[in-house]
Amino acid sequence: MPDISHLTIDSLPLAFGIIMAIIGLVFYTQGLPGKFWQRFYAVLPGIVLCCFIPATLNSLGVFADGIGSQIYGFTATYLLPASLLLMTLSMDVPKILG
């Protein structure tokens, strides 16, 4: 069997970009009006695919060891606070307080 260990993705930006592309593709196809995609996502919700596909790639060894924890650290440090800020900006504060 040939050695494929050199094909693993060990770059954090590349791994993150691949995962974001997969998630973007899932949400794009979920919004398509085609009958196939509507039936497909009626059986298998898009959020399940957003979790299942990257986890499967990780289990198959596409990503190098430790990339998952690096991606978690990156998202927890940078993306989570930005998401919370954007969510807070979209709130109707007078309605909440009154």
- Looking at this protein, which amino acid is placed at residue 52? F
Judged against a pLDDT cut of 90, whether residue 32 lies above it is answered with yes
Q: Where are the domains of the chain?
A: 5-91
Q: Residue 7 pLDDT more than 80? A: no
Q: Report the amino acid identity of residue 87.
A: M
pTM: 0.75
* 3-class DSSP state of 78: helix
Q: State how far the alpha carbon of 61 is from the alpha carbons of 46, 67, 93, in Å.
A: 23, 11, 46
Give the per-residue pLDDT at 50. Answer: 92
